[in-house]
Amino acid sequence: MEQLYLALLAGGLVLLAGVVGTRVAHGAGLPSLLLFLALGVVLGEDGIGVEFDDAELARNVGTAALAMILVEGGLTTKWSDVRKCVAPAGILATVGIGVSLAVTATGAHFLLGFDWQLALLLGAIVSSTDSAAVFSVLRVLPLPRRVAGLLEAESGFNDAPTVIMVLLFSATPLVFSPGHLVVSLVYELGLGALIGLGIGWLGALALPRVALPASGLYPLAAFGLGFVAFAASGAAHASGFLAAYLSGVVLANSGLPHRSATRSFAEGLGWLAQIGLFVLLGLLVTPSRLPEEIIPALVIGLVLLLVARPLSVVVSLVWFRVPLREQGFLSWAGLRGAVPIVLATFPVVQGVPDSQRLLDVVFVLVMVFTIVQGPSLRPLARWLGLIPREATREIQVEAAPLDVLDAELLSMEVPSGSAMHAVSVRELRLPEPGVVTLIIRDRHTFVPSPETSIEAGDELFIVTTLAQRQATENRLRAVSRRGRLAHWFGERGDPA
């Protein structure tokens, strides 16, 4: 019993450290995975002294944790945000992965002298964007819905083909057959998609008709359905990751009861999975071996960031008329995180020669390039003109009335030089039933009257319905650009 209490105490302290680390990372604009990984390294054999070298256990726990993260990603994805992005995201997650894999593997073979099996494994492992990193970083940026939706959908889709390729390349001896690869991809992705969509659809039909005795059971049931989709697909030798994500998307967008509670529950479990997964992966590596892999990791990271990823974006999106500035942001925003490190344990478990070195290279690459890419996303988006100064951002609220009304709470900071300065709340003329509920000015909060004048630097909180959200945002942009008579000047607030 004493050992049990000590283990629970250590787990609780690690969990609390992870929660505090999340706040620190958020303030610095970094994905939280960096602090979680560092926490695992500190606890490891070269730090406090916890010994852990079971790659198979790390792979199994990592696979289950990634399934949780993908279910959470699906349950927190709005279909309206990704509906128009499904086709380009699907191409990015398949053709784009292939292009990135080929370029990265070629660079690893000729620049670093990796044999072709290790080079192909490295290319497959690092080519996919990471769902945990993308969901945690991009959802706090007020990006255009097409860009954010495309990145979210791509990160939800591309784990599936990546896992398939890593497993095929981990075979010893390696026998590469393009025809077998294509057949495997079509079968596993197709059947995984059917299972995920089917279970999500059945759950969407059943849950609203089942009178559960407690509201907290609905989020649990929704998450359980996602795991059923994952496990059923895995049992059928199909893509469990794709099934888990798609089942979550279907459930989240089918009008389930207690949507806010379901979303909060999913986010909580997603954070728990991230903390446990990243700390475990940090324990798995041996820090004393990492310095010698810094140069190889930098070389492969630069090939991936500056050549492979941009080329995959251009090739995948050439038919979709995506503006060049958006393609530039998509190229830079291909974040890597837990997925590559988990995938790097697969060849270790399979006994691929030199696969332990591969794990060290991937770990260093993820750490270094997350530090580079994470904080730079907001400045890059502003420089490319993807984040307007008067942008609003969504705030998640746990209020039943908002859930019942299908309403949303938006926040907007009035920028310096905005034409909204000195405009009264009444003169905003927001589309019904939109209303400014609160203003924060000089750290003081007050409820405005219709005659309250808005000042530069104010933060406005606006409640509107989902149906009127776009019209509300357009009106706010119009007034911010041309003042109270914006419509007289032909300004309709269309996104730039």
Query: Which of 7-16, 85-94, 286-295 comes out lowest in average pLDDT?
Result: 7-16
pLDDT of residue 390: 59
* CATH code for the domain of 103: 1.20.1530.20
Co-location of 253 and 398 in the same domain = no
Co-location of 360 and 223 in the same domain = yes
Give the torsion sign (CA, 19, 24, 29, 35). Answer: negative
Residue 394 has pLDDT above 60, yes or no: no
Q: Closest Cα to residue 168, out of 217, 233, 237?
A: 237
Q: Rounded to an integer, what distance in angstroms lies between the CA atom of residue 76 and that of residue 304?
A: 29
Co-location of 157 and 177 in the same domain = yes
23 exposure class (CB count in 10 Å sphere: 0-12, 13-18, 19+): exposed
| Bigger pLDDT: 395 vs 85 | 85
| Bigger pLDDT: 371 vs 26 | 371
Q: Closest Cα to residue 430, out of 444, 410, 416?
A: 410
What are 118's two structure tokens? 């290790």
Q: How far apart are the first and last CA of the chain?
A: 62
Domain that holds residue 371: 10-383
> pTM higher than 0.85 for the full model?
no
Residue 367 has pLDDT above 80, yes or no: yes
> 494 in a domain, yes or no?
no
Q: Rounded to an integer, what distance in angstroms lies between the CA atom of residue 318 and that of residue 278?
A: 36
For 408: left if phi > 0, alpha if psi spans -120 to 50, otherwise beta; the answer is: beta
Describe the chain by its helix, strand, coil percentages, rounded to 5. Answer: 70, 5, 25
> 378 in a domain, yes or no?
yes
Domain finish residue from 354, 383, 412: 383
Co-location of 183 and 234 in the same domain = yes
Which residue blocks in 351-496 are alpha helix, DSSP H? Answer: 355-383, 400-405, 425-428, 469-482
Co-location of 180 and 245 in the same domain = yes
pLDDT of residue 296: 92
Co-location of 41 and 66 in the same domain = yes
Q: Rounded to an integer, what distance in angstroms lies between the CA atom of residue 241 and that of residue 239?
A: 5
* CATH code for the domain of 452: 3.30.70.1450
Residue 132 has pLDDT above 90, yes or no: no
Domain finish residue from 334, 350, 383: 383
For the chain, the domain total comes to: 2
- Strands of the sheet containing 407-413, edge to edge, are 393-395, 407-413, 459-465, 435-441, 444-446
With vertex at residue 226, the alpha carbon angle to CA 221 and CA 228, rounded to the nearest 5 degrees, is 90
pLDDT of residue 25: 62
pLDDT of residue 399: 46
Domain finish residue from 383, 415, 444: 383
Question: DSSP letters of 254-323?
Answer: TT-SSHHHHHHHHHHHHHHHHHHHHHHHHHHS-GGGSGGGHHHHHHHHHHIIIIIHHHHHHHHHTTTT--
- Please answer whether residues 447 and 437 qualify as being in contact, where contact means their C-beta atoms are separated by less than 8 angstroms: yes
Coil, strand or helix at 485: coil
Q: Closest Cα to residue 152, out of 70, 259, 228, 212?
A: 70
pLDDT of residue 348: 87
Which residue blocks in 384-440 are alpha helix, DSSP H? Answer: 400-405, 425-428
Radius of gyration of the chain (CA): 24
Co-location of 55 and 202 in the same domain = yes
- Please answer whether residues 458 and 468 qualify as being in contact, where contact means their C-beta atoms are separated by less than 8 angstroms: no
Co-location of 77 and 185 in the same domain = yes
> 3 in a domain, yes or no?
no
Q: Rounded to an integer, what distance in angstroms lies between the CA atom of residue 74 and that of residue 189?
A: 17
At 267, the pLDDT band (50, 70, 90 cuts) reads confident
> 459 in a domain, yes or no?
yes
CB atoms within 10 A of CB 74: 28
Q: Closest Cα to residue 126, out of 138, 114, 144?
A: 114
pLDDT of residue 308: 93
Co-location of 309 and 404 in the same domain = no
Residue listed under structure tokens 């798609």: 246
> 152 in a domain, yes or no?
yes
Query: Which of 193-197, 224-228, 358-362, 492-496 comes out lowest in average pLDDT?
Result: 492-496
- Please answer whether residues 248 and 75 qualify as being in contact, where contact means their C-beta atoms are separated by less than 8 angstroms: yes
Residue 128 has pLDDT above 70, yes or no: yes
pLDDT digits (tens, 9 = 90+) for 185-195: 888 889 999 99
Q: C-alpha 114: how far from its chain's center?
A: 31
Q: Rounded to an integer, what distance in angstroms lies between the CA atom of residue 416 and that of residue 36?
A: 37
Coil, strand or helix at 45: coil
Co-location of 459 and 331 in the same domain = no
Residue 472 has pLDDT above 50, yes or no: yes
> 388 in a domain, yes or no?
no
Instruction: For residue 89, give Cα distances in angstroms to 129, 150, 197, 369, 422.
Output: 12, 6, 17, 23, 43
Residue count of the chain: 496
Q: Roughly what angle, to the nearest 10 degrees, separates helices 159-169 and 240-252?
A: 170
| Bigger pLDDT: 443 vs 1 | 443
Give the torsion sign (CA, 160, 193, 176, 105). Answer: negative
Coil, strand or helix at 146: helix
> 496 in a domain, yes or no?
no
pLDDT of residue 176: 67
| Bigger pLDDT: 405 vs 109 | 109
- List, in order, residues 6 or more apart from 168 with CB less than 8 Å away: 176, 180, 181, 184
Co-location of 442 and 297 in the same domain = no
- What is the overall mean pLDDT for the chain? 83
At 400, the pLDDT band (50, 70, 90 cuts) reads very low
Q: Roughly what angle, to the nearest 10 degrees, separates helices 259-284 and 33-43?
A: 40
